[in-house]
Structure 1
């Protein structure tokens, strides 16, 4: 469905996009028409939500069952001290409303499960997963694959992070995360810590991939993983199939 024409306020707000070669009015209209779901309003979800809302994604959904904790604020920058104890999804909705009134915000303050994933994801045409456990990631990936939706996936730990895209016709989630992989084998943020700006780096890259997929700009990270070593300031890449 095509989006309504840009208003005068939107033309001014998105002026740097409109003059950008390769984006222009067509790209901005594609963003306005897009329906994007962000799974997780935490470390990775925060920059994703901020940049997609600022970019003018027309309908932005957020699903998260958790509440804001004081220890989140070192890296989850869409939440504030006043948001402690508030639903993360509701807090994200308030942030988006204050940032860009042209974005229709859909708040899903509930846990994503195998039972409700299809109903939630089915209302969108692109999904970004910023969750921190393989069980939820597998549910998101399976539902996205069933619905034929592209999925932007990010992960972080301590000083390092990675981002990739799963899309119809490309390698599946299991090609990168085999069935035998288990959350018990992975270090938790609570146990090992995480450098705050790392989630900004990876989350922003996730938002970039989403915008590319929506507008058709560039080459998405399908079948490729972009990794970032924060300590040595190095990006690298590997392929999977």
Structure 2
């Protein structure tokens, strides 16, 4: 399977691989981030000035010559990152804690600008690609063969066998239909699909207009210490931890008195994960994500303490935590009814260690792949009064959410519809919610999550009170919008104003209440872990 297969429903991979991209200058690790991300995208980057590049990226204070060409500048600020064509814009000096995260954000926005301006973005997202082959046969010509599926094979040109089904034709002919489905990344499928393009009849110029983006976040200082739960280390969680690793490296923090619990049920790192999940390498294929993420952290940060769990956090986790926090006692009776309803997915996490883990944590960082699990995690964070750092990325859209005590919650912000989506939202996999995924979106929002985590762990004068409560991104226009009101939520009116968020999340999740059929709902974008 190709590394880039999950992004090929979003971009013209052939065009992207042919683009001549020049990157000039450097600032605070921007160059390394840009080059690494280009490799993940399957693009070719020319590190020197070349004649007639398709696009040029100028980093930091590098002087931009007067020219009629496609370009952007990426500059790090004291407290953020800027994407601009302003030749006079000046750089800043981000803190050592945040420099690596801002460099990742800048690289992601720059690559998205290249995709837009060079028209490598497909006009519509293709969530799934496959080819259906139909062969109408006359079974009377088969002679002694009566069981077609047992006695016949459908063979590809390379000798491989292709599964097929047999359908009857109700037209009196006695004919049967042999139907086979060829998935993307099959030689026959690719030979056909690569010759097809699904385009607008009339192209517009909107997508090629240059973007001006400035993202600022509260400056963080000091050493890093504290504890937290990382739920999901796929596209988002891996970039959040990469941002944390760079923060430890650049600030020379030792990792002492820092404890993380990493939770992810995915036991099989696959080849297509490598083009957008930054922690994993080819030698990790087939390994559990939580265990490899733990290994990367421990090898990168000397004295950090990391525990990994190949588990899911489910409904029973929320119920147990509530019982222990409220009653300070055994919750076994309450859990038993949940087991009868087949609501538990937490496995060995649902023991006495899980509530203690939560109560010892300073935050929960959410990178899981379904909305219901996010609501449960939000209920857990609300129950114990710690922030939940949440983000979602789907195709060229994404958002970051910060849920703090006294603010909003998943249900208030996105509606009861989040509870009905319990299946994984995964990149182009049947049996799940299919969508394309690309590193520009996962790196952008994973890095923002990582920077929020750093603000919590930093012992200097940094505060989540000054952080945005939501950051939204539209990749097709490469624009960012920011919301600072912590308690905003278009669905908050549904709930009793006197209720705390943990109560109505718990009641909705554990009580199995259903959303009214006419109620409006909003879903949060996801990236698969």
Give the TM-score range, shorter chain.
0.7 to 0.9
CA apart distance, 1:116: 3.4
Distance 1:184 1:40 in 2: 15
**Shift in Å at residue 59 of structure 1?**
1.4
d(CA) in 2 for partners of 1:93, 1:161: 26
Does the CA contact (< 8 Å) of 2:427 and 2:435 recur in 1? yes
Partner of 1:196: 439
Give the secondary-structure state (helix, strand or coil) at the position aligned to 2:368.
coil
The correspondence for 1:131, drawn from 349, 365, 368, is 368
Q: Give the equivalent residue in structure 1 for 2:451.
A: 208
**Structure 2 stretches of 5 or more lacking a match?**
1-94, 98-217, 249-254, 322-353, 429-433, 490-529
Quote how far apart the aligned CAs of 1:186 are.
10
- Specify which of 48, 51, 63 is matched with residue 263 of structure 2: 63
For residues 22 and 76 of structure 1, the distance between their equivalents in structure 2, rounded to whole angstroms, comes to 26
Query: Which of 86, 93, 96 is the aligned partner of 2:287?
Result: 86
- Does structure 1 residue 103 correspond to structure 2 residue 304? yes
Q: Contact (CA 8 Å) 1:129, 1:137: kept in 2 or not?
A: yes
Match of 2:96 in 1: 16
Q: Following TM superposition, by how much is the alpha carbon of 1:92 offset from its aligned partner in structure 2, in angstroms? A: 0.3
CA contact (8 A) 2:371 2:422 kept: no
Higher relative contact order, chain-length normalized (CA < 8 Å, sep 6+): 1
SS of 1:115 mapped into structure 2:
helix
The answer (yes or no) to whether the contact 1:157–1:187 under 8 Å persists in 2 is no
Alpha-carbon separation, structure 1, partners of 2:470 and 2:416: 18
Q: Distance in 1 between matches of 2:417 and 2:278?
A: 34
Distance apart, 1:53 and its partner CA: 3.3
TM-score computed with the length of structure 2 as normaliser: 0.39
Correspondence for 2:233: 41
Q: Is the 8 A contact 2:370 2:422 kept in 1?
A: no
- Cα offsets for 1:81-137 (capped at 9, x unmatched): 111111110010111122112221111221212223542433411111011211111
RMSD: 2.6
TM-score (norm 1): 0.81
Aligned pairs for 1:224-235 within 5 A: 224-235=469-480
> Aligned equivalents of 1:186 and 1:94: distance in 2?
25
Gaps of 5+ in 1: 1-14
Pair 1:116 & 2:317 matched: yes
Query: How far apart, CA to CA, are the structure 1 residues paired with 2:388 and 2:365?
Result: 6
Question: Residue 78 of structure 1 aligns to a residue in which SS?
Answer: coil
- Which deviations, in whole Å up to 9, do the C-alpha atoms of 1:181-204 show, x marking residues without a partner? 432899753222111221010010
Corresponding residue of 1:3? none
- Does the 8 A contact of 2:474 with 2:480 survive in 1? yes
Query: For each residue in 1:201-228, what CA deviation from the matched residue of structure 2 results, as whole angstroms up to 9, or x when unmatched?
Result: 001011112222344525122xx32111
Q: Which has the larger radius of gyration?
A: 2
